[in-house]
Amino acid sequence: MRGFTFAKPNAAIGKNCGGGTGAHRYSAGMNPSRPPADFSAWGAPAQQRGVALLANPLLNKGTAFTERERDALGLRGLLPPRVFTLDEQMERSLASVRRKSDSLEKYIYLTNLQNRNEILFYRLVTEHVEEMVPLIYTPTVGQACLEYGAIYRRPRGLFITLRDRGRIAEILRLWPQEGARLIVVTDGERILGLGDLGALGMGIPVGKLSLYTACAGVHPNYTLPITLDVGTDNHSLLDGPFYIGIREKRARGAVYEDFIDEFVNAVHTVFPKALLQWEDFGNTNAFRLLNRHRTTVPSFNDDIQGTAAVALAGVIAALRLTGGTLRQQRLLFLGAGEAGTGIADLYVAAACADGLSEAEARRQCWFVDSKGLVVQSRVAELAEHKLPYAHEHAFLATLGEAVHSLRPTVLIGVSGMPATFTREVVAEMATLNPRPVIFALSNPTSKAECTAEEAYKWTDGRAIFASGSPFAPVEYNGCRHVPGQGNNIYIFPGVGLGALISEAREVTPAMFLAAARTLARLVQPDDLALGRVYPSLTKIREVSLQIAVEVARVAHDSGLARCARPEDLEEDIRSRMFVPEYRDFA
């Protein structure tokens, strides 16, 4: 089992291994500048034997323990007698997944497998990534969050509530892996397109961190999912008998701010080298929290910045089919929340690098929100993040009117409102553009602004289509169209890996711009021939590696890296990526 490490392990680590959930524990003060890359060199934990070893998901090999290991580790008789290889176990698990009747049942099976044997779980996901990722994340994770209280089996991550104020650092220290370096945190207010799910949102950080390991090789030992339970305004949850969170209305104002401040400061104290990813916070908090805390701990908001990078990469790749330059594109967004304005902000940065002024670049981005076109006459009612895109123009009440008047080349849906890219809207885009770029990015699949089939049919097969959740290929007029999945999975794992490896003090917009350009560059002619503006998901680990290299390069070039720059950055990062392989304990 190979995997990257950040700190040299304690020499006594074999005797310090934690219990139930535990992987290896660290000596808190150790931080050599050049750690070894091979996690497997740490040796077998002396105190993990028998059923205790089988209960440790990071060390348990199940039926793959050899005859020698069974004798040495007190496992004789505790396992069926036949010894299986990892590949044989994977095939058996794959067959078990495929026998399940629906996606949620498959999610539950995979969650249980992860809690039992992480190496097998990640081997299955990495070897069958196109089939497994939609089951462990979008779109299935949306239903899993809705059902999280009912399907909850075993703790994974930390729930920190308002009742824990004053002792958040103490709770963080209870986490069995002292070397946590990557934290994904949510307060559950805006889960995908499903809204306020409170404590049920834990499925999101758990799923995101699984993707970090499967898609970018971040060792699971370093990951920590956290839900900040500040209550919920979802009355169906508060009134339900089985809700797992605190039964209070969602905290706002000073109470909320003080709680978040304490949390961030506690992370900085307990895990001083941790990277923090904000996930699925509501629009009223997301921008403010990012701007307030981005330099206290290295942090980013995937809904704002990850979505921006993956969407911009799709637009850049689409230019190889449509022709023209980035500065010539006019973008119209349905939805003016954190995702949409994040995309626009990154487009502005890219267009400025392409020669436009900031004012000119912003003028290329237009928004339709729930009330209509975002324009200057509405500034008194607009949230702060919309103001830079409130242009001088007559107010238009509908998306269709906006498309007709503004003549966009790119239509991007980030509204969470299904079926809002109507036949009339999509057909108008096809009238205006020989190859209309139509991105329906809202998750899960049920929230997409239109389907892939609709986009191709209503444009006579000319649309360049991408979606947030996967759609199957579409046969139309004898041609096979493969829709791209503009999912953040292409961005955040690589950005996080690059920031961690370089020990970046801050995660900057320049890193996300580098990630977007790298992703667009990795789209191959074979992809474009199918109409796909993203690489195949089967290449996700290589995509994440290349993005990590560019992010780390930005960190070193900008003076934000806290470690020495290796001679060969790509080889250094590749050597540190976790590979799900069993280690020999005998």
Could you confirm whether 386 is annotated as catalytic? no
Query: How many Cβ atoms are within 10 Å of 339's Cβ, its own excluded?
Result: 31
Please state the length of the chain: 586
Which residues make beta-bridge pairs with 38? 3
Answer yes or no: are the C-beta atoms of 226 and 161 closer than 8 Å.
Answer: no
Nearest to 514 by CA among 357, 308, 286: 308
Q: CB-based contacts of 63: which residues, under 8 Å, 6+ apart?
A: 79, 80, 82, 83, 84, 89
Strands 275-278 and 182-186, bridge-based pairing: parallel
Nearest to 494 by CA among 449, 454, 536, 549: 549
Structure-block tokens of residue 132: 């497994």
Query: How many Cβ atoms are within 10 Å of 211's Cβ, its own excluded?
Result: 24
Residue 540 amino acid letter: I
Chain mean position to CA 463: 27
Burial class of residue 338 (count of CB atoms within 10 Å of its CB; 0-12, 13-18, 19+): buried
Of 137, 212, 243, 456, catalytic = 137
Answer yes or no: are the C-beta atoms of 171 and 158 closer than 8 Å.
Answer: yes
Structure-block tokens of residue 343: 């995309």
Could you confirm whether 208 is annotated as catalytic? yes
Of 208, 273, 386, 447, catalytic = 208
Query: C-alpha distances in angstroms, 543 versus 26, 229, 478, 585?
Result: 30, 34, 31, 33
Dihedral of alpha carbons 209, 213, 215, 216, sign: positive
Residues forming the active site: 137, 208
